[in-house]
Structure 1
Amino acid sequence: MKKIYFVLTICSMMFLMSCYTQRTAGNSGKVPPGQAKKRTGSKSAKPYAPGQQKKN
């Protein structure tokens, strides 16, 4: 009976260790200015560019 528990434990550990998450490159969650422009329907991407945003 102990051998069955041991084998089940080893199999479940191997299954859990084989899982991985997929990562996106670089700026996770940030959208390029051109893509933000397309989503909002704006005519210019300038307001979405990081160097063009005004600080309050």
Structure 2
Amino acid sequence: MGKNIDKAKGKIKQAVGALTGNAALKKEGERDERKGKVEGAVDGVKKAAKDASKAVGDAVK
């Protein structure tokens, strides 16, 4: 859930930064969005590892 919030927050900060000419806020928004994307990727890797582990366990039975 936090990953989606970070991505949305990042997009909003980028838009506000662009509209107001605030480069620092725009950069902060880019960081927040990347953070959300990385968290999503990590979650995907965790799920894949868990699924693979379960498949190996089932195959051994």
TM over 0.5: no
Higher relative contact order, chain-length normalized (CA < 8 Å, sep 6+): 2
The structure having more radius of gyration, on CA atoms, is 1
TM-score (normalizing by structure 1): 0.40
